[in-house]
Amino acid sequence: MKPLLLFTLLSIASAQPFPGQEPHNGNPILPGYYADPSLVQHDGKFYLYATLDPWGDKTLGCWESPDFKNWTYRVLNWPTKEACKSPTSGGAAVWAPSVVQAKNGKFYMYVSVGNEVWAGVAEHPLGPWQNALGNRPLIHSKFKPGYHMIDAEAFVEDDGTGWLYWGSGHGWKNGKCWAVKLKSDMVSFDGEVHDVTPTNYFEGPIMVKRGGRYFLMNSTGITIRDNYQVHYAVGDNPLGPFVEPKNSPILVTDKSKNIISPGHHTVFRHDGKDYILYHRHSIPFDPKFVGRQVCVDELKFTADGLIEKVVPTHEGPALVRGRKTGLPATASASSGEARFAVDDNYATRWTAKGGWLQLDLGAVKAFSRQEIRFEYAWKPYRFVVEISDDGQQWKKLVEQTATGSPVVVEQRASGRYLRLTSAESNLAVWEWMVFQ
């Protein structure tokens, strides 16, 4: 038996999928490890901002999509650890963004840098962004001693009034939630700061208004364990008091489905439906690896002023199903689960220490474009793609170093087989697609 055929058979006959590994799943919606998502919709496009896992980095992750199905990684000029540094910022990274469009049409970002909150402003979701307060934070780390000054989330009322909610605990113990009204500049406090802490509050406050009621949602538990979850409380105004209904929490771990510690979410509405956008652990769950992934499911508010329990899924709602796919192909590799690179599922990836990944298009076919989604969108990858008609004689198609997701190779060629190699010691690919 030829080696090429043997590798293909081994790939097809490998272990059967467990929950989350099925092909064509809509969740996760992004190819990579991201947490604490925030979303804005502008001019028919979606812009998603998130923490780079593990535990943040020198900047944020940002993605753009025309349809909520197909996402492209974008590099922001701000926030950065260098641009958001103060005597009180500490050593922790950039994380937990919240982005909103204000009544004045501008976009405002509230982001945790270390143990404090910085504010940015831009005319467009992709920037250019700049510090809204010069070289000082909006909320410094000692603003409320004994608690983390992180996870600031903005809420814009129907009349354009802005509100800000933030706060977390220390040592994985429940914290406090503070709220303040914002002036029209969206970066000045309009009045005193209020303690609006609901029951079972740890971090990640989100304010949502539906049917005249105010829903203060938050996360509690420990994100690196399996008990992180989403609670909510209800009030009659932005400052409460907020009462937690009996059906809270509404989004929790489901071990039978391989869905672990969903939380730190946002809520958005599109085409008349509400959705909850959140992170949960990558598959398989490994408490030593903080590699969370962004997912979305439907959120339903009831006529009597409650939120129904969320059913977290791997399939995702119709909003995310039906991503574009390339030419049909089977995959083989020198090692690892090659099939994961062509299964249209961002919960699975092909990974290997060196070696090669190969696609078989089934026959000699002409193509003009390839899209490769490497494990980390912000890291540079040096790689080579070769092409062959018979799997024996190869010629180099491209050799380059690139960052981003997808990494796009625009080059017309024809062949049956494509082979990807790289000098990376630990190479991983979420998906590799070829287009005519």
- Longest pairwise C-alpha distance within the chain: 77
The residue-averaged pLDDT of 390-412 equals 96
- Using CA atoms, how far residue 327 sits from 125, 177, 341, 365, 435, in Å, is 33, 50, 13, 9, 6
Is the pLDDT score of 246 beyond 70? yes
Residue predicted with more confidence, 242 or 6: 242
The residue-averaged pLDDT of 373-398 equals 96
Q: What integer pLDDT is reported at residue 254 of this predicted model?
A: 97
Q: What is the DSSP letter of 132?
A: T
Q: What integer pLDDT is reported at residue 9 of this predicted model?
A: 34
7: pLDDT confidence band, cut at 50, 70 and 90?
Answer: very low
Among 8-22, 192-206, 222-236, name the one with the lowest average pLDDT: 8-22
Among 61-75, 135-149, 396-410, name the one with the lowest average pLDDT: 135-149
Q: What integer pLDDT is reported at residue 4 of this predicted model?
A: 44
Is the pLDDT score of 411 beyond 60? yes
Question: Which residues does the annotation mark as catalytic?
Answer: 36, 203
13: pLDDT confidence band, cut at 50, 70 and 90?
Answer: very low
Supply the pTM of this predicted model. 0.94
The residue-averaged pLDDT of 254-274 equals 97
- Those residues whose C-beta lies under 8 Å from the C-beta of residue 317, and which sit 6 or more positions away, are 26, 273, 275, 296, 297, 298
Among 9-13, 239-243, 265-269, 320-324, name the one with the lowest average pLDDT: 9-13
Residue predicted with more confidence, 424 or 50: 50
88: pLDDT confidence band, cut at 50, 70 and 90?
Answer: confident
Per residue in 316-353, pLDDT (tens digit) is 999 999 999 999 999 999 999 999 999 999 999 999 98
Q: What percent of the chain has pLDDT over 70?
A: 96
Cβ pair 151, 167 in contact under 8 A: yes
Cβ pair 162, 111 in contact under 8 A: no
3-class DSSP assignment, residue 215 = strand
Name all domains of the chain by residue range, CATH numbers in brackets.
Answer: 3-16+323-435 (2.60.120.260), 34-299 (2.115.10.20)
- Those residues whose C-beta lies under 8 Å from the C-beta of residue 216, and which sit 6 or more positions away, are 165, 177, 196, 198, 205, 206, 207, 232, 233, 234, 235, 240, 242
- The mean pLDDT of the chain is 94
Is the pLDDT score of 15 beyond 80? no
CA atoms of 34 and 50, how far apart (whole Å): 6
3-class DSSP assignment, residue 339 = helix
Cβ pair 197, 176 in contact under 8 A: yes
